[in-house]
Structures are given as structure tokens and as C-alpha cells.
Structure 1
Amino acid sequence: MTAFHQTSIRAKRAKMKSLALVVVFCAFVPLSDSACFTDLLKRGAKHCVDRFDHSKHRMGSTWRNDECVKCTCSPGRMHCCNVMGQVATMTEGCAVKYNYTTCTFDVFHPEDPSFKCDYGVVGK
């Protein structure tokens, strides 16, 4: 086997490893997107507008809206993250109750409160 052939094989392996890494990172994009988002502001904007309740907020301010989304208004962008998360999966027969005042939730079995429900959360 020539040195050129060995180099070519190494280059192909490196490309395959890089491609595998890109695929893994792309798989996490939907999860990260559900937790936070950034809205770009128009040039010269003096405030941010909350996309949930349409309230206006001054540059440099941080707030939490009634949907448990915390936002920061900065020149050129508004960055927001869900501070509570949403239950995506749970044990069959269980229910979830969201408390938007405290930004918490409870996963429980309505017929047997002592039953331990397993659940998975996205967006936090």
C-alpha cells in the first residue's frame, strides 16, 4: 500500500468522523430550539415586543411573561428562554398540571397519588 493510498484512507475516515459529529449536533437542534429563541430587532428599534402577550419592554430590560418565558431585550435582539419546560413523555395514566404563577408543574397519577410517575421534559 502506498503512502498516498494510506493518506487518502485517513482523509476519508476524518471526513466520516466529521460528518457523524455534524449529524449528532443536528439532532440536538430541535431540543435546544424549544428551550430558547432569539428575535432580531429592526435597526434603530427602541424596545422589544414580547411575542406572547405583545407587551413592550425597554432596551436592557429582563422580564418573565405569563407563559413562563424569560426574555432579555438588548440592542439588535431579544433573547428568550422557557423557564418551566413542557412534559413531553410520561407514564401512561399520569397527568400533568402546570402552575404558570410559580412556573412549576406536577406530574401525578389522578387515581393513585402515591404512584410514582416517570416523565421527560423538553424546553428547560
Structure 2
Amino acid sequence: MSVLKRSVFVGFFLLALVAVSHAACWQWKIKEGATHCQDRVDKTWHPVGSSWTNSECAQCYCRSDYASCCHGWPTSVSGGCIIEYDYKTCKYEIINLEHPSLSCGAAGK
């Protein structure tokens, strides 16, 4: 098997090991008749019916009776890889610690 074919095979194998997404969500009730929800991370206020992304890159929604936020980032990977989060751009990169030139996955969000 050629080096290129072997590298492609290893790359696809490692991609298969990566957990694509383990979304974590949380929600909380807001007072009846409230017109705004407060983000529990940033302490910012948002009108009912709105959505926003907070400083931890969670996508949040304010409903008439509750607010909710969800992370769409992977929380775990396998096979000698780590996740590096960039909170300024709300992107992540999965890095192969043993072979940095081989990909463990794609950056996204």
C-alpha cells in the first residue's frame, strides 16, 4: 500500500473515532409576564422572542415562559486527540497529539 493511500486510510479511520457533537443544553423558567430573559453567563438582558450567542459560544433563545442555551461543540474525542476552543470566533479545532500533521476532524460551529 502506498504512503498516500495509507495516510488517507488513517485519516478516515481517525475521523470515524471523533465524536461529532455532544450538544449540552440547559433551560430555566422566567417570571410570568416578563418581557426579557437574562443570560446566565454574561448577565445580559434579551427581549422575549430573541436569540443570541453568548461569550461561551452557546446559542440562546428567550421564550415567553423560559430561556434556553445550547452548546453545539464536541465535548470529547478519542484516539489521542484534543479539542482547542476559540471563544473569540466560536470555532474549535480537533488536534491529533501523536501525529499533528494528521487530522482528527474539522473546525466548525
Structure 1 segments of 4 or more deviating over 3 A? 109-112
Secondary structure class of the residue paired with 1:89 = coil
Q: Tell me the CA shift for residue 111 of structure 1.
A: 6.3
**Aligned residue for 1:70?**
59
TM-score (norm 1): 0.57
Question: Over residues 12-59 of structure 1, what are the superposed CA-to-partner deviations in whole Å (9 max), with x where a residue is unaligned?
Answer: xxxxxxxxxxxxxxxxxxx97x52222111112221010111111111
**Contact 2:25 2:69 (8 Å CA) reproduced:** yes
Measured in 1, the distance between the counterparts of 2:75 and 2:65 equals 32
Structure 2: segments with no counterpart, 5+ residues:
1-20
Q: Tell me the number of residue pairs that the alignment of Structure 1 and Structure 2 aligns.
A: 86
Structure ID, larger Rg = 1
**Aligned residue for 1:51?**
40
* Matched residue type, 1:36: C
Q: Tell me the CA shift for residue 110 of structure 1.
A: 4.8
**Contact 1:90 1:117 (8 Å CA) reproduced:** no
Highest RCO, 1 vs 2 (Cα 8 Å, sep ≥ 6):
2
Structure 1: segments with no counterpart, 5+ residues:
1-30, 119-123
Provide the identity percentage.
36
Q: Tell me the CA shift for residue 102 of structure 1.
A: 2.6
TM-score (norm 2): 0.63
**Aligned residue for 1:91?**
79
**Contact 1:98 1:106 (8 Å CA) reproduced:** yes
